[in-house]
Amino acid sequence: MNDAVIEAHDIRLAYRMARNRSTTMKQWAVNLTKRQLNYEELWALDGVSFRVGKGETFAVIGPNGGGKTTLMKVLAGVLPPTDGRAVVRGSIAPMISLGGGINQEMTAAENIILFGTLLGREPAEMRRRSDEILDWSGLTEFEDVPVYAFSSGMQARLAFAIATDVKPEVLIIDEVLAVGDEAFKKKSMGRIEDLMSGGTSVVLVSHALPTVERLSDRALWLDKGHVKMIGPADEVVDAYASTS
């Protein structure tokens, strides 16, 4: 795939886990001081390789704990891999977690500027776009309300509206569309499809297998950090569903 926008080369990522779990912070501090803490490595990702082409929608499926969110964080540059490398070409809008990029103490209007700036946009541009973003998300009347007062669905609408307001070259979505009411899900799907038709590459994590089949060109089945299968979305979904 010569026009690859995303390339994952043999990505491995290990978390350090303490073997001797302490029951209290005091005991943990004592063990740390005495250098009595022993660690083992838990490999969340182990040898993950794939490519995503320009305008392609690529789904990542698998059981909970399989490494899907960790992989999304590596692609977004949030976590550095222990080994291997991830290459993402072009502007990226990561929707990895509901609160990612959103400051709970700030108002909706202030978060539009903050989150947009984190995504590489100019503050002045985000100020100009603020009214339209609030209107799309249905939050105009909550412009000056701190986000901590929002429901999870309202936060999802705000974050999604900001991230997709200007067409990114890569959109990463990790189960964000599982939050919110049906009207929001339908509206969000429409915007994703518009981005896809305009050439945006999408990496989608979802447990909703019908959605994966409908939206995705190809899929990766990830289990315990290992790639079980990569191929056409319908074939991968069928193989995964047969094991559930």
CA distances, 61 to each of 6, 209, 218 (Å): 17, 8, 11
Q: Is the pLDDT of residue 87 over 80?
A: yes
The pLDDT of residue 53: 94
Q: Is the pLDDT of residue 23 over 80?
A: no
Residue 104 contacts residue 32 (beta carbons within 8 Å): no
What mean pLDDT is reported for the chain?
87
Q: What is the mean pLDDT of residues 5-33?
A: 73
The pLDDT of residue 150: 94
- CATH number of the domain that residue 23 is part of: 3.40.50.300
Where does the pLDDT of residue 230 fall: very low under 50, low under 70, confident under 90, or very high at 90 and above?
Answer: very high
The pLDDT of residue 63: 94
Q: What is the pLDDT of residues 41-79, one digit of tens each?
A: 789 999 999 999 999 999 999 999 999 999 999 998 889
H-type alpha helices, 76-181: 108-118, 123-137, 152-163
Tell me how crowded residue 215 is: count the other CB atoms within 10 A of its CB: 19
Number of domains in the chain: 1
pLDDT > 90: percent of the chain: 55
Dig out the tokens for 164 from the structure: 């997709």
106, 95, 98, 101: which is closest to 147 by C-alpha? 106
Residue 98 contacts residue 155 (beta carbons within 8 Å): yes
Q: Is the pLDDT of residue 86 over 90?
A: yes
Residue 71 contacts residue 223 (beta carbons within 8 Å): no
Q: What is the pLDDT of residues 142-189, one digit of tens each?
A: 999 999 999 888 888 898 899 888 888 999 988 766 656 778 878 888
**What are the residues whose beta carbons fall under 8 Å from the beta carbon of 153, sequence distance 6 or more?**
179, 180, 181, 184
CA distances, 225 to each of 28, 69, 74 (Å): 29, 11, 13
> How many Å from the N-terminal Cα to the C-terminal Cα in the chain?
32
Residue 175 contacts residue 39 (beta carbons within 8 Å): no
Q: Is the pLDDT of residue 99 over 70?
A: no
The count of C-alpha atoms lying within 13 angstroms of the C-alpha of 14, restricted to the half-sphere facing its C-beta, is 9
- How many whole angstroms separate alpha carbon 177 and alpha carbon 37? 40
H-type alpha helices, 138-220: 152-163, 182-197, 209-215
The pLDDT of residue 26: 63
Domain of 221?
Answer: 4-241
Q: Is the pLDDT of residue 235 over 70?
A: yes
Give the residue, 99 or 212, on which the prediction is more confident.
212
Q: What is the mean pLDDT of residues 111-124?
A: 91
